[in-house]
Structure 1
Amino acid sequence: MQKTSLSFVILTAILVIVFLMDPLAQYGAVEANPYTFAPGLHVYSPTSGLTYIPNVVINFKIYPQNNVTDIDSFSYNLDNNANSTLTFRIRAENHSVNGIVYTVYPITVYKTIENLANGVHTIAVYAHNSNGTISSIINSTITIDTTLAIPYTAFIISPLNQTTYNTTQVPLTYTINKEILWSYYRLDSTKSSDLKNFNGNISLLALSEGQHELTLAVTTKTSPTSQQPYQTIQRIVFFIDPTAPSLTPTLTAPYLPPNDRNAPHLEPTFYLLPISIIVIIIAIALVIFSRRKTFQRITGKGFES
């Protein structure tokens, strides 16, 4: 009987923990605003009056009325210089409103203008229509201040820029004292599709002899000027030469302050409630078992199982 009761207590404790922690695990899983797909222009960046460091993203969506558009292409210019073409994509999105699913086909543009000089800049974006007309979409004046980006820029430990290694395996590691959302790298390529996500430190394997170009993109949780994510992009060139003098890269773990870790984590207080309930349940069980034993000694018989 005691073994059965103890098993019941343990099972109850487990069920209580699952019941309590399930809503906690779901905390923060908030559905996106379903009304953000209303027909029209939705500009996410750039915003006039803001300070950027040093890259600026042109990012907007156009939700056509009844999914029909007469836009043929997009272009932009920086500081009233020559226009450059903007690539775009049209991809289906499903949005649910009051149980009804709507399928829409927005036009999405995403372009990063990198390494702008300090100072004030103007960015203009235009839509070129099939009837030959041109519509102004964005006309923003922004400021660039690269000094604000220093604490938010990853310090690359390995590989070092303009350095020659005599091994075909080189560690990729960096350090940054900010909370990281994503980190990507790209080797010997200029295509966005070749960016690979990685966490912590990895090794670049099977490197061929000769020159290599590494692109490192790191997105931190906040930026120097707002609570929005912020991305820095760095490019370095290194070389592989088996005959070069020995230079063994040291794989050093990046330092992050205790409350600013790269990996997601839960605070200790997250566990206090379930642990407290377990302790209470076990205490109650011990009291019940103790009274049963006392009753058995007095009466000389036990409970029926």
Structure 2
Amino acid sequence: MSGKAVAGVERPVVVGVDGSDAGMHALDWAAEEARLRGLPLRIVHASLWERYGEGAAEEKKAEERVLSDAVERAARWAGGPQVTAQAVPEEPAVALTVESRAAALLVVGHRGRGELASLLLGTVSLTVAGRAHCPVIVVRGEGRTGPPPGRGGRIVVGVGEGAGSEATVAFAYGEAALRRGEIEAVHVWRCPGSGLAEESGTHNKRREEHIRRAADTLEAALAPVACEHPEVPVTPRPAEGNPRDVLLAAAAGADLLVVGAERHRHTRGLQLGPVNHAVLHHARCPVAVVPHA
């Protein structure tokens, strides 16, 4: 959870704002994250209005108003973080992806100003979640969705196979420790039937083997980080079914859902699998996407 850069400079929590309600909700979450982590908060408003002459004066005033309102709102937090704000003349998704290179955490709203209300997730949020170099929290839902400091909260983390889940689990533990919350660690498995009588029903040997493997996967993923955070209550939950459906059901009523995303070097375009797409579009709580190599 460290926000220290290699050169000793603190990496900020970065939030993208555009004047929309979703952007303000993201700002609230980002301000709380920065305060809990003891990191500065960097507010970014990205727009390409400078490239167009007509209406430039009005756009500049609107941009200044968005940033001033955001700074004022962030300053209302008692004991809040050091705040800086900047307008960036760039496409929002591009600007925020660049910002993620020097950020400890990037926070965005689920839909930006001007995007269709029928969209489940905005294009900027989806692009940033798929390309950012640091963890991204997409703040879904209405109003302030984060649990108040010191009052707990339930964080659901999806645990996959292999070493790829290390960063995801570590992020979930860090969030739970900051918020004095609890973790529900979910590993989803599936056991296709063979058609044989001895391998059918709810207690067949193949099913029992899948259950054991799922429990072992969870234990192996949780044990290293659990030693660093013995104060965090954890409930391992191996579950049979479709990963999309299981994670969405687990996230109902949760304060945060944490999933991992594999980043392939030299690969362009979005790097999110179908499960991540599903939870980003349909989860009823904020979703953290944690990249790993």
Q: Does 1 or 2 have the higher relative contact order (CA < 8 Å, sep 6+)?
A: 2
Structure-2-length-normalised TM-score: 0.25
Higher share of residues assigned strand:
1
Structure-1-length-normalised TM-score: 0.25
Higher share of residues assigned helix:
2
Structure ID, larger Rg: 1
